[in-house]
Amino acid sequence: MLYVEILGSLPGMATDEVRTLLGREPVGRDHLLLTVEGDPAPLTRLGLAHEFGLLLFEADSVEELLRRAKGFDWPIEGTFKVDTETMSNCVHDVRELPRRLGAVIHSQGFRVNLSRPDSVVRVYCGERLHVGLRLHAFDPKEFEARKAHRRPFFRPISLHPRVSRALVNLSRAREEVLDPFVGAGGILIEAGLMGLRVYGVDVKPEMVEGARLNLMHYGVRDFDVRLGDATRLEEVFEREFEAVVTDPPYGTSATLGGRARDELYREALASIHRVLRRGGRLVTAFPADFDGESEGEAAGFRLVARYYQRVHGSLERYFYVFERP
| Sites of contact with ligand SAM (CB under 6 A) | 157-159, 180-181, 183-187, 201-204, 207, 229-231, 247-249, 255-257, 264
- Residue closer to ligand SAM, measured from CB, 51 or 202: 202
- Residue closer to ligand SAM, measured from CB, 105 or 201: 201
Q: Least distance in Å: CB of 169 to ligand SAM?
A: 16
46 phi and psi, to 5 degrees? -60, 145
Q: Least distance in Å: CB of 202 to ligand SAM?
A: 4
- Residue closer to ligand SAM, measured from CB, 209 or 240: 209
Q: Least distance in Å: CB of 294 to ligand SAM?
A: 21
3-state helix/strand/coil string of 237-273: HCCCEEEEEECCCCCCHHHHCCCCHHHHHHHHHHHHH
302-312, strands of its sheet edge to edge: 223-227, 197-202, 176-179, 241-246, 276-287, 315-323, 302-312
135 phi and psi, to 5 degrees? -100, -35
- Residue closer to ligand SAM, measured from CB, 124 or 265: 265
Kindly state the DSSP code that residue 23 receives in the 8-state scheme. T
Q: Least distance in Å: CB of 207 to ligand SAM?
A: 4
Q: Least distance in Å: CB of 214 to ligand SAM?
A: 8
Please compute, for residue 168, the number of CA atoms within 13 A of its CA located in the half-sphere on the CB side: 31
Integer angstrom CA distances of residue 116 from 112, 141, 151: 9, 18, 31
- Residue closer to ligand SAM, measured from CB, 114 or 216: 216
Question: Widest CA span of the chain, in angstroms?
Answer: 71
- Residue closer to ligand SAM, measured from CB, 134 or 147: 147
Q: Least distance in Å: CB of 83 to ligand SAM?
A: 34
Q: What is the CA radius of gyration of the chain?
A: 22
Sign of the dihedral defined by the CA atoms of residues 159, 165, 166, 168, in that order: positive
